[in-house]
Structure formats: structure tokens, C-alpha cells
A and B are shown apart, each in its own frame.
Chain A
Amino acid sequence: MNIYVLLKRTFDTEEKIEIENGEIIDDGAEFIINPYDEYAVEEAIQIRDEHGGEVSVVTVGDEEAEKQLRTALAMGADQAYLIEDEDIENGDEYSTQELLKAFFAEKEYDLILGGNVAVDGGSGQIGPRLADQLDIVHVTSAVDITLEGNEAKVERDVEGDQEIISVSLPALITAQQGLNEPRYPSLPGIMKAKKKPLETLDLDDLDVDEEDAEGKTKTVERFLPPEKQAGRILEGEVEGQVQELVRLLKTDAKVL
């Protein structure tokens, strides 16, 4: 079984995001494997351990992402690929899709796993986009995956309800929280990770033209959500409170 995992390096979710001149300031921030991708890595390792095969992790990013790939190798993945996207102007989901499409054109795969969404951009597009380009089925938001022969039975989370879907392989499945409990990389794992293959690929290696992978979207503005204001507690008879609330919604908040 050839299993690939799509992995992104993201901000630590505990970091406080700051914006300066329309750009996100990331110096000094801690970076991690996108938590949803970590579920995907864990699931891939478990599936490999049960059914045999190899786990390859793939990221699109800059050389700094090597650390997150090594972490996945330390958890137990067998090899890693770093696709460098630094030459692409204004990269977006489309660019990532194009690079991954070119990468997978040369590969044989039974299962591609990824995170449901990345906690930074939050688009949740890469999985479905790639499946579309590769012309394979995909299931998002998996909380349980069982493999039987050439079929995968996937339990997915649909806004709190569960849906069970059977798909035939090759398939792309994205992970939701609850799929598993990712392991800590062990010390021996960390020591071994150094010796596992990690290949860096650039646009030339993938035969992709800079212009063809240029982003399709334009960022117009970046701003932080407004700070939460202190609440107000209305007092008095319920009827009076309701009237006061309606009045405030009309005149103060101007939402009615």
C-alpha cells in the first residue's frame, strides 16, 4: 500500500497573530505541523503498520518546512518530499494544487491523506482540489477509516452527525479531529529520522512553469477580527428587558 500524506507547516495555534502593513508578522512565532495533517500522518502510520506498505509525506512550502517533515519522519513516516514554491508569485490554493498535481503525475498511490483544513489559511480546498485534478474520489472530514481489500469505509463528520461512505481506492481522504490521537515522536524515532530520505523538488524538477502556477486570487486587505467588547446585562422585568434589547439592537448595534 502506497500512502501519501499532504502536510503543511503552520503557525502554532496558540500564537497570537499580528498584522503589520497588511502582512502577517511571523518572526519569533512557533511553527508546527498543521494539527489536522498530524491526524493524517498518524492514520497513515497506523494503516501501514496494519496493512504494510510505505508512508510518504509531502509538503509544498519553503525550506523551513523541513523541520515539520522530519517530525513526521520521526513519528514513523518512511520518506518525505519538500516541494519548493518560493519562485511562484502570489501563490494560493490553485498554485499548491498545480504543484501537487505535477508531483502525483509521476507517482503510484493507493491512498492520499491530508488534513480537513489548515489552521492558518482555513480554506480546506487542497484535498478536494487535488482529488479532482487526479480524477480520484475523495472524502472529507474523516473520523474513522477502515480498509478492506480495495475499499475504504470512512466515517465522516457532517456538522455533528455521522455519515458512512464506502469508496474504492485510490482515494483521497481528509482528517477531522477525533480520527486518532497522534503519537509523540519517540527519541529513537527522532534519531532515525535523520537517516530517512527527504527529497527537495523545485519547479524544474516537476516540469511546472512559474506562470502556470501563479495564484488566481488577490489579497485585497488583511485585518484582525474586532476585539470582543464587554457584554451588558439588562435588568428589570422580562418584558422591559425584551423591549430594551430590541431598542438596543435597532439603535445601538444597528442590526435590526
Chain B
Amino acid sequence: MLTGDSVYLLMFGAGLLGGLGHCSGMCGPIVAAYSLNLSPSDEAARPYTSLPHLFYNAGRITTYSIIGGLMGLTGSFANIVQSIEKFQAMTMAGIGALMILMGLGTSGLFSFKQKGDIPPSRRTPAAVLVDAVRRVISFIAETQTSGSFYAIGMATGFIPCGLLYTAYIAAAGAGAGAADRLEGFLKGMLMLFLFGIGTAPSLFLIGRIAALKRDWLRKRLYRISALFMIFIGALLIYRALAS
């Protein structure tokens, strides 16, 4: 049982170790997929090319910290997990769908960007609905604001993960032994925050490497990049349905 002040260092260390192995293999493909989808590099924007990855990781760590806090608050892993399991599966399927959309966009076969408004003569209810769906998909798959990466990161933080569950178990244990609920909440939150920080370097590195090569990949292997994203998306949906 993890106890004492050393638990925080252990959580960070677990994140570091997990990031190098576990996270790189499981979440690395997602990071690589959105990195390949980043806009073509721009000399003027170069200083900011780390921002998407920073916001993505910040989003992930936010989700981990909140759930860690809930684990610590209740002192129960099983209860919290049972209440979010279905949501986790839906989120994983949603991210899988997002990856597929990104892949289709990267392949050049489809573009979800809206080209002008619908002419009044064509404004049927069906056309308006299709247009609305297209705008939502375009926003999700092709918008590249800091907020969108933060949101993707937050959503990714809900993806089921055995390593993360172990961290949550530790947070619940710390909460169960806390003097009161507030202490449990803060302990759980801090433990998962440090765990998340530990996982960040490896995923940040994967994102940067993939982003650095995106132009090269786009020009020469854009279909393979697209297939990679679609494969990852399909795998996530499969796992969501199987869970």
C-alpha cells in the first residue's frame, strides 16, 4: 500500500515509467494521429508548434486530476469506476470516430470545411441539417485552436487504461485513510496530477516528432498517414464496443 509523503514521488515515477512504456504504446498512436493532422508548418508560427501538445497534455492531466480527486473524496475506486465506465467507453468510441474523421480529412478524399453558405434556393430542412453536421465535424476534426487540443486531451483522459486504474486505486486508498473528505479529495487530486505530469514528457515527445515529420509524411505518404489514423480510430471503436 502506498503511504506517506513518498507516495507523491512514487506517483510521479509511475507516470514517468508508464509514459515511456505503457502510454507510448497505448496513447502514443492517438497523439501521433492528431499531430499528423496539424496544419502545414509555417515559419512564423514555428515558436508555437509545441502549444497543441502542451494543451493536449494539460487536458489529459486535468481529467486525471479531477477523477483522482473524486477517488480520494469517496475513498472508493469501484464505485466511481462503475459510474463512469459507460461514459469511458462512449468517449473512447467518440475519439475513435474523431481519428477516422481526421484520417479521412488527411487523405484528401473528404473535406468537411464549409464552402460558403447554402444558397436560399437550396435551403431545405435536410440541407440545413447536413450543413449543421458538416460544421460540427469540421469544428471537431479540423479546428486547431488551443482550446480544441485541450478538449481532445480532456476527452482522452477518460479512455480506459489499466495503468491509470492502478493510479486511481492508489488515490482511493489514500482517500480512505484521510482524516476527512477534503483531505482525501486533495490527496487524490495531487497524486493523479503528479502521475499525469510524469506521463507527459514521452507523449509530448511523440507528438513533436510526429508533427515535425507531418509535412514530409503528407507529401510522400499521406495515404499511409490517413490509413494509420483510420486504423487507430477503428481500433478504439472496437475496444469500446468490446469493453
Are A and B a genuine interacting pair, yes or no?
no
